Amino acid sequence: MSSPRSRANMVHVYNCHPYASQQIVQVEQEPGLVCCGGGALFVVASGGCKVEAYSVEQEGCPLICRFSTMGTVRSIQHSKTGDYLVTIEEKNSATYLRAYTNWRYQAEGKARVGVRLLGHLLRGASVRGGVQMEIIEIPLSEHPVAVACCSVTGDLLVGCEKTLVLFTLRRPNQQSLSQSPWPNTQQSSSQSQGQTSSSNQNVSILDFERSVIVHLPKMSLKQVALCGGYVAVQAELEVLVLKLEASSEPQTPDDSSDTNTCDDPLEDQSDLLLIPRQQELLGDRAKDCDIPVSIEKTGLEDKGQYTLSYVLFRRFTPEFFQGCSVEETQLHSLQLYPLYTSSQSASTEEPACVFCFFSLPNAGYLYSLKGGVELLSAYQYPEKVLEAVLTDHLLHVITKNALQCFTVRCAAVAARMEDPYIDTTMKACPPCSLEVCALRMQLFIGLRSVCVYGRHVILLSAADMETPDESERSTQRRELKKHTTLTGIFLAVGIDPATTPALESFLSRPFLSRKWTISSPKETSAAGHGWNLYVVDTVSPLVLYREMVEYSRHYSETNPQAQSLRHLLSEAHLLLCASSLQQSSEGNHTVSLQKDADKQTEGQTEGQTEGQTERQEVQEALRQNCAQLGDCYSRASQKDCHQALPYYRMSGLSVTEVLVRNRPLPSSPHSYGLGFLFYLKHFLFEETEQSLSQESADEVIDIFSQSDPSEIISVCASPSMTNISPARTLRIFQHLEATAGVSVPLTITMATMMLRLDDLPQYTQLMDRHPEMLLVYGFIDEPRLLLHGGGGRPHTRVRPTSLTRQLSKSQPGLLVAGMVALHENNKAQLEQADHIFKELGCENCLLVDFWEATLMASSQEVVIQELLFRLASVYIERLTHTNSGAHSSLPRTRPQRRPLKSADDLINSSSHYGSLYPWLTVLCPAHTTNFQHQEALHKLQSLLCGPSMSIGSVLPLLERLSEETLWGFSLHLLCATRRGQFDSSIEKLLDRCPQAIIAFANHHLQDRHMALWWQKLLPELCDRTRAAADNSILLAALKETLVVVATETSPAQFLELIPDDGTASYFLPHLLTCSQRHLLA
């Protein structure tokens, strides 16, 4: 159990005109029931058995058709999908449920009518004879109390006293439907009343199938609603919303269909009068209510099953308020309303949003059901409300003597459903919790019911007849009633008109100044029949928006920071958003119909052009409204000032235009709003391609020098400020330095200004103020001193600054150190730094220096391996295009520069560069090639000698190098050695450079490879010496090898190693040394 949230929403009242004109529908008999849909108004005569359909989209509301019903109609509803009518009728004390299809072909009641039972289609001559209206008899086991049609699927929900029955709309002639789609609203309304039965190209055969029966034994149903799988039921003081979902899996016999098996704790206490307390349960908590729900098995479970879940439960207690007794405190106007986003089609897709509305006589409640159940608005009425209808833009309510409308928050929910960037720095929308407002009302006499189709509000009024003598007194009472009603509205929202002379003056004049176009009534109306049927047209959202903007000007003139101004502009924004969503949904529906149609008429083309023009006007109005909201938030408090950024962005205004709109008032020439500064900072700190003119850039510098001097360095470093006046800005910086002191970023920025003034001596003097390490820290504090664009984000284009270009010429080491610092502090990506050096034309020198420096500084394994591969590729490229006597054959635009780090520097300062193996010095002695070649060779050899290089990744690159040269042979031999191929390496080295074999063996043949001295090296030397006995290099190597073997083996092992044809005198000294060592051991 939980008590409902107390939301005391304030209701704003604005003197805007929501209604444009009204006309009286010429009906002959007093209307008893009315409903609308499909461009038509359906009128049931009071106590009669005849339905008349009038076109509400044509001037004068002409009669479309009339037809008789089979009983006295007690309830009537129209379904948008399927274009059928459903009625609850009485005849001979029995209640019936009937559906009327193809009713449009009853022109003046001349067409034939077919009557059939549910599921029994008419066949034979009755179908072949042409178009005819069908009356479908829907049998029920209980008396129907209420009906509802789903606007999404066309399904029919019937509410009995304790039971819900869902009928699914079926289309037996799917083939004909695919050739001729359902007539939409415009097509339906355009059909003339003289249409005959021969025009059967759009005829549709409809039928219903009972799908599910839901039992609610503890709830006495009064109203029901159905929309997109959501089922809402209403009792006197309770509302329950369920989600009904169909499953294709058949239901097993053991499955239980009960979704709530609560036992009734008050079963034996029926003699007690208990008043339940108020309760609000949302989402999953709604299942904790004491309303059990169960699904009856219909015998069709093999086709699938339905599952129920609780969505919302709300219970009220009977209360007394002025004008309504406790007995009259009952819920009414239950409604489920779908809303589509701009990317959806209202005819083919499930709605993105579904809203539930219901009302008490004194308050209305609007909930959002999808994406989390939430109470959007609670409407407090100033007097007793009889009925209410929810639309995209407005909530229309009627009292006994007035039609009034309130704003709604449906568009705010739909906008957030559609766009994930809402409520970010990119886009904004007024919150769903924005306080609602009431617009100007229209007074009537004796209102009974209201329904809405599009922009047409249909009102039924019935008043007691007055004598001529009472007319004058009645007029006076009505005038007094108007004043009292309006005064009550203002008092209900906490405004006392007596304290405001402007409101008193407003209430003292006639309330309605709008001209009304009223059709000339018949003579019976002139005689005063006591009832009327009105069609009141609401103004278009665009017109209402313009009036709201005009209305807001008196706020902006008197108090630009007034909360009411912001609220009114937010209301206008939501109004335009709702209009945009509605237009997009209708446009998508029209496109889908055109794809199925064979051709498009000229009238439809003109209608589309008008629709496109209206959409363009709405979009332009949205941009203007966003600019106005940006102006409001630009001077808002710190809590809301951040909203200026997204609204200005959505307005499409340039920074210069925003500057003009936010220039300070003459009364406070140095005062800038927090929201404006917030917008300006974001624009300047984000990397954009929009450059300000010199005038605008200088104005921005003045703004920050007055409002926020601490940000002036970052502002000046923005790429948008490239046209700034350097001399003027330098004076501001010098003043800032004199007041705030010297700082490294300020010094670098001043040096940049000197550079733009071509004052190189002053530039050099400023750069020499601080050591290079402090300058590097300055670059970390403000990376945009070196590069524009990126902001640390990957795959973003960057470009060098003028300071970067100067550093590449005068201080390349500082530039490389600065770029390495930016990379290591996540201020620049590796690819972005590469692009900078390529832009500078330094890809052959400084870029490689940057890679080498980054390799020394980086601790990220991925970056290390990437840099090792890049550097190995560069070194091999240099070795390929250089030789011992010539420079690189690659074309160059400038002389080759010596690298910042030599091979020895890298070996001494980086763990990734290993010390060169001793045998490499023997194999490739220094000064045998030119400097560039020697450096590239030593660096590559050092990488291969280091612990980090992956040999597998570099082997494909080494295939480009030949082994014919000793330096190329050394690289291949290094790779083979790193891979553990010592046997083949020994053979290759003895073939190419035997003088290096001992150095090779001393370095590599140690520990677990020691046995290779006598297993591989000694036999190879013996064989080669036998073939070349005068080779002194081989003989010297053999002696060194025997010394090692004698030290590491036993005498017996040594004897086994001596060749059979060896000279005893040559091996005897080594055998003696081996024996002596063995004896000592």
Q: What is the pLDDT of residues 349-400, one digit of tens each?
A: 688 899 999 999 999 999 999 988 999 999 999 889 999 999 988 999 999 9
The token pair that represents 280 in the structure block: 């609000």
Between these two residues, 463 and 312, which has the higher pLDDT value?
A: 312
pLDDT band at 1068 (very low <50, low <70, confident <90, very high): confident
Cα–Cα dist 534/460, whole Å: 6
Mean pLDDT of the region 767-783: 94
The token pair that represents 468 in the structure block: 């001529």
483: left (phi over 0), alpha (psi -120 to 50) or beta: alpha
Cα–Cα dist 903/910, whole Å: 10
Cβ distance 412 to 431 under 8 Å?
Answer: yes
| 41, containing H or E segment | strand 40-45
Identify residue 475 by its one-letter amino acid code. T
Mean pLDDT of the region 874-895: 60
Sequence-distant contacts of 25-31: CB under 8 A, at least 24 apart: 25/54, 25/61, 25/458, 25/533, 25/534, 25/535, 26/60, 26/61, 26/519, 26/521, 26/522, 27/52, 27/54, 27/533, 30/462, 30/529, 30/531, 31/460, 31/531, 31/533
Between these two residues, 171 and 444, which has the higher pLDDT value?
A: 444
Q: Residue 580: what pLDDT?
A: 86
**Residue 427: DSSP 8-state:** B
Residue with tokens 């007034």: 562
pLDDT band at 421 (very low <50, low <70, confident <90, very high): confident
Cα–Cα dist 1002/912, whole Å: 23
Spatial CA neighbour of 317 closest among 338, 331, 299, 332:
331
Between these two residues, 534 and 962, which has the higher pLDDT value?
A: 534
With a pLDDT cut of 90, the percent of the chain lying above it is 46
Cβ distance 239 to 313 under 8 Å?
Answer: yes
Residue 602 has pLDDT above 80, yes or no: no
Q: Residue 515: what pLDDT?
A: 36
Mean pLDDT of the region 523-539: 72
pLDDT band at 486 (very low <50, low <70, confident <90, very high): low
Range in 144-153, 293-302, 508-517, 580-589 with the lowest mean pLDDT: 508-517
Mean pLDDT of the region 772-783: 95
Q: Residue 92: what pLDDT?
A: 87
The token pair that represents 627 in the structure block: 């600019």
Cβ distance 140 to 134 under 8 Å?
Answer: no
pLDDT in tens, 638-689: 888 999 999 999 999 999 999 999 988 766 656 788 999 999 999 998 867 7
Cα–Cα dist 385/489, whole Å: 13
Range in 480-489, 502-511, 918-927 with the lowest mean pLDDT: 502-511
pLDDT in tens, 173-183: 543 333 333 33
Sign of the C-alpha dihedral computed for residues 324, 326, 327 and 329 taken in this order = positive
Residue 539 has pLDDT above 50, yes or no: yes
Residue 297 has pLDDT above 80, yes or no: no
Cβ distance 253 to 184 under 8 Å?
Answer: no
Residue 523 has pLDDT above 80, yes or no: no
CA 503 vs CA 13, 544, 873: distances in Å: 11, 22, 83
Q: Residue 842: what pLDDT?
A: 84
Mean pLDDT of the region 189-217: 63
Range in 338-352, 488-502, 717-731 with the lowest mean pLDDT: 488-502
pLDDT in tens, 54-74: 999 898 899 999 888 988 999
Cβ distance 291 to 162 under 8 Å?
Answer: no
Cβ distance 778 to 813 under 8 Å?
Answer: no
Burial status of residue 625 (CB atoms within 10 A of its CB: 0-12, 13-18, 19 or more): buried
Between these two residues, 656 and 528, which has the higher pLDDT value?
A: 656
Cα–Cα dist 552/892, whole Å: 68
Spacing of C-alpha 414 from chain mean position: 11
Mean pLDDT of the region 1004-1023: 88
Burial status of residue 34 (CB atoms within 10 A of its CB: 0-12, 13-18, 19 or more): buried
Coil/strand/helix, residue 666: coil
Between these two residues, 775 and 307, which has the higher pLDDT value?
A: 775
pLDDT band at 604 (very low <50, low <70, confident <90, very high): low
Q: Residue 1070: what pLDDT?
A: 85
Spacing of C-alpha 329 from chain mean position: 42
pLDDT in tens, 702-737: 999 988 898 999 999 999 999 999 999 999 999 999
Range in 69-78, 589-598, 909-918 with the lowest mean pLDDT: 589-598
- Mean pLDDT of all residues in the chain? 82
Q: Residue 668: what pLDDT?
A: 64
Cβ distance 664 to 674 under 8 Å?
Answer: no
Between these two residues, 476 and 3, which has the higher pLDDT value?
A: 476
pLDDT in tens, 240-270: 999 998 776 655 444 444 555 444 444 444 4
Q: Residue 517: what pLDDT?
A: 37
Q: Residue 197: what pLDDT?
A: 35
Which residue stretches of 191-273 are H helix?
none
Neighbours of 1031 (CB within 10 A): 14
Cα–Cα dist 952/979, whole Å: 9
Q: Residue 763: what pLDDT?
A: 94
**Residue 131: DSSP 8-state:** -
Burial status of residue 690 (CB atoms within 10 A of its CB: 0-12, 13-18, 19 or more): exposed
Cα–Cα dist 151/856, whole Å: 68
Q: Residue 250: what pLDDT?
A: 54
Between these two residues, 326 and 44, which has the higher pLDDT value?
A: 44
Mean pLDDT of the region 43-58: 89
Q: Residue 484: what pLDDT?
A: 61
Q: Residue 122: what pLDDT?
A: 66
Residue 697 has pLDDT above 50, yes or no: yes
Q: Residue 373: what pLDDT?
A: 94
pLDDT band at 411 (very low <50, low <70, confident <90, very high): very high
Q: Residue 328: what pLDDT?
A: 75
Cβ distance 360 to 372 under 8 Å?
Answer: no
Between these two residues, 1058 and 589, which has the higher pLDDT value?
A: 1058
The order of strands in the sheet holding 238-247 is 223-227, 230-234, 238-247, 305-315, 279-282
Residue 93 has pLDDT above 70, yes or no: yes
Q: Residue 589: what pLDDT?
A: 53
Between these two residues, 113 and 625, which has the higher pLDDT value?
A: 625
